[in-house]
Amino acid sequence: MAPFKNLFTTSINISRTPSFPLPRSRTHCLAIALLLVSLFFFSSASLTNQLPSFLTASSLASSILFAANYISPFSSITSSRTCLVSDSTDNCKLSSVTAMERTRMNSRKEEETDDAIAGLSSCDIFDGNWVLDDSDPVYQPGSCPFLDDAFNCFNNGRPDLDYLRYRWKPHGCHIPRFDGRQMLRMLRGKRMVFVGDSLNRNMWQSLVCALRESVENKSRIFQIEGRREFRTRGFYSFNFVDYNCSIDFVKSPFLVQEWRSSDRRGNRRERLRLDMIQTPSFNYHDADIIIFNTGHWWTHQKTYKGKNYFQEGRRVYNRLEVNEAYQKALRTWAKWVDSNINRSHTRVFFGGYSASHFRRGKWDSGGHCHEERQPITNDTQLKPYPLMMKILESVISEMKTPVFYLNITRMTGYRKDGHPSVYRKPDVHQRTPGIIQDCSHWCLPGVPDSWNELFYAAYLLSHHDLSS
């Protein structure tokens, strides 16, 4: 038993060493299996004192920790800094190279991907800054027919494209560039669902357009039939036929149930049932990937005031602080997830609060952002981390279901230049500074493309765990 004791002791010591080197290719996965099998047979035959020199306790611990580091980031969330990261790889255009060159480039790209995966758990991908990057966006402005007019700033006449020149870079490491074909291969035969408010819709449309760009025959992408009918019921779906996968969006701005009714006098009443998950028109609990979010609707006036609006059971609160109501709603959501999601089948993500940048007013009182052309560069100008997100982290940490928190709050806080502002409508007469501006959502292409790049990095790790 001495080698196993040494193995355990070495594992503990190495796990405390942040500079522990990680293997860089799939070959190591085979090596790990062979080493562990060899150790089992040697120990079973009482030959522990005759192990070959290369089967040292430290080498085995190194391999075991390599595998453990892949899985641990998805086990739970303990703080706002529990995140993932990976290194960058450049997109390669292979249309004009020889077969041998393609093989070499693909091999190099696989090694770079392995290097990226090896570094995914080593730093916080959400702690970084925006850097100038003149590479092309994932899809060209005005090229995606699936965008809502409200997000299509280029077609709506925005004259500058400087907001597309920035790329998110974590401190001390890199993330891989979004690879639509690789993403579609990982999504083959799967269903991915976004559930939440219009900011999640922003991210959903960004992903659909990014994946569309990587498909050669774009006529093989279908929006589900009955488009108007499903929109009125808050359900949208795109199917990528060649990959047998769908990317869906379910409108649920609070995640819990909204009630609308009228009293005997015909007065309309609205309530938010904090103890009931919103009943979806279409089931999504068995999807392969679900990305939830909720946040912005909790800052609206009727929600924020909390007077005679929040309800639990038969009790309607005369007054309830919005943060307390938010916590109750999230606990209802968490209970539903833990009770209805198959943890061995479905990966659950939660998108953080996306920053707004209204100046000199709110969205309905003259707030504007149309003159912004550059990101914030001074951290002291960033708003404090929202209390709602601290509440979210606390709820997630208590769940049985592993939830990966896409903590986009800080990275969006810098980007006061990326909103539609007056370019939220195609009508030129609607672009005067005096109109209501959109300083909450984001132009597409734009900032949400980086959210999907971070999601891609996280899911790349998750998919590698399963395939390995």
Active site residues: 198, 438, 441
CA-to-CA distance for 212 and 139, rounded, in angstroms?
Answer: 9
Question: Nearest to residue 184, comparing CAs of 154, 159, 156, 216?
Answer: 216
**Residue listed under structure tokens 């005759």:** 50
Whether residue 160 contacts residue 434, with contact meaning beta carbons closer than 8 Å, is answered with no
Beta bridge partners of 351: 406
Question: Nearest to residue 454, comparing CAs of 354, 346, 378, 326?
Answer: 354
Q: At residue 90, what is the residue type?
A: D
Question: Nearest to residue 439, comparing CAs of 454, 426, 421, 455?
Answer: 421
DSSP secondary structure letter of residue 438 = B
Whether residue 144 contacts residue 211, with contact meaning beta carbons closer than 8 Å, is answered with no
State both tokens at 364: 């309905």
Paired sense of beta strands 191-196 and 166-170, if any? unpaired
State both tokens at 134: 């003149």
Helix or strand holding residue 250 (H, E): strand 245-251
Helix or strand holding residue 131 (H, E): strand 128-132
Whether residue 158 contacts residue 107, with contact meaning beta carbons closer than 8 Å, is answered with no
Q: Give the DSSP letter string of 371-389.
A: T--S----GGGSPPPPHHH
CA-to-CA distance for 287 and 353, rounded, in angstroms?
Answer: 23
Q: At residue 320, what is the residue type?
A: L
Which residues have C-beta within 8 Å of that of residue 281, sequence separation ≥ 6? 233, 234, 235, 250
The sheet carrying 315-316 orders its strands as 256-262, 268-277, 310-312, 315-316
Helix or strand holding residue 447 (H, E): helix 447-467
Question: Nearest to residue 439, comparing CAs of 338, 354, 374, 376?
Answer: 354
Question: Nearest to residue 259, comparing CAs of 244, 269, 250?
Answer: 269
CA-to-CA distance for 176 and 460, rounded, in angstroms?
Answer: 10
State both tokens at 458: 């996280």
